[in-house]
Amino acid sequence: MSKQRMSDLEHYISTALKLAADATETAHQTWSQDLLVDYKADGSALTQADLNIEIRWREAIRKNYPSHGILGEEFGTETGDSAFTWVLDPIDGTRAFGAGLLNYASLISLCRDGTPILGLIALPMPGLLFWAAEGHGTHFEGRRVHTSGRQELDHSVIHLANPESFGSESLSLYDQLKTKGKQRVYDAGSPAYGALSRGLIDLSLNGDDLDAFDICALCPIVQEAGGVISDLNGKPLSILSKGAIVASASPALHQHVLSL
């Protein structure tokens, strides 16, 4: 990577961290007050925090990088004139957020030619975050973190998403994994992928209800920590990805799971 590219990437990291700080403040204030929850046409939850955060994020990105594209959960796609597109999910886990629960996050990713090169998972409560960027590793609270490197499924801590999110093909893998491993945790959302990067979870499986804005930020977080993330056929993830995904602490564990 050229020095110029590194300099640009560091600027993008700085921007993403500022966007995350703004989202954390907004989400914390909204969550702490009287929550008003609306519902979209597809039945998914929506709060004012989702809208306000994404509006401000888009304004900042347009100001700093007018040639970049934007893909966000609430306001769709803005096509840019460069190779770069920001992929945004202001409140990932609005269902939990609107219910006054804590397993939600703000997700920010930057893709180059469709490939995620920067990812950030902000946890507004308790005010912590994970970030990762191409060649920079994965960071949590000022330190670089790594996956466990676990290779054996039988000894793994496994995260499984909400069982209602799995379709016929992915449900088969869900049914197998819910009886395996040393321990299983359920429906933790995107924070589970941060936990995987810290070595606390070894395997994470999500169902068919994911879109690019749910997926892209997770990829650098997992990969830069030494893990592997893909669709259920082992295909790399991108800005075009939708549906079920799986992440593992090591290539060997990932191949074992894909073989199921």
Query: Annotation-wise, does 92 bind a ligand?
Result: yes
Query: Annotation-wise, does 208 bind a ligand?
Result: no
Which stretches does DSSP call E strand in 59-202? 69-72, 76-78, 84-92, 105-112, 115-123, 128-133, 137-140, 143-145, 157-160, 183-186
Query: Annotation-wise, does 202 bind a ligand?
Result: no
Q: Are 239 and 111 in contact (CB under 8 A)?
A: yes
Query: Annotation-wise, does 214 bind a ligand?
Result: yes
* 3 state DSSP class of 1: coil
- Closest by alpha carbon to 214, among 89, 63, 103? 89
- Closest by alpha carbon to 182, among 156, 151, 148? 156
Query: Annotation-wise, does 158 bind a ligand?
Result: no
- End-to-end CA, the chain: 37
Please give the annotated binding residues for Mg(2+), written as ranges. 73, 89, 91-92, 214
Binding residues: 73, 89, 91-92, 214
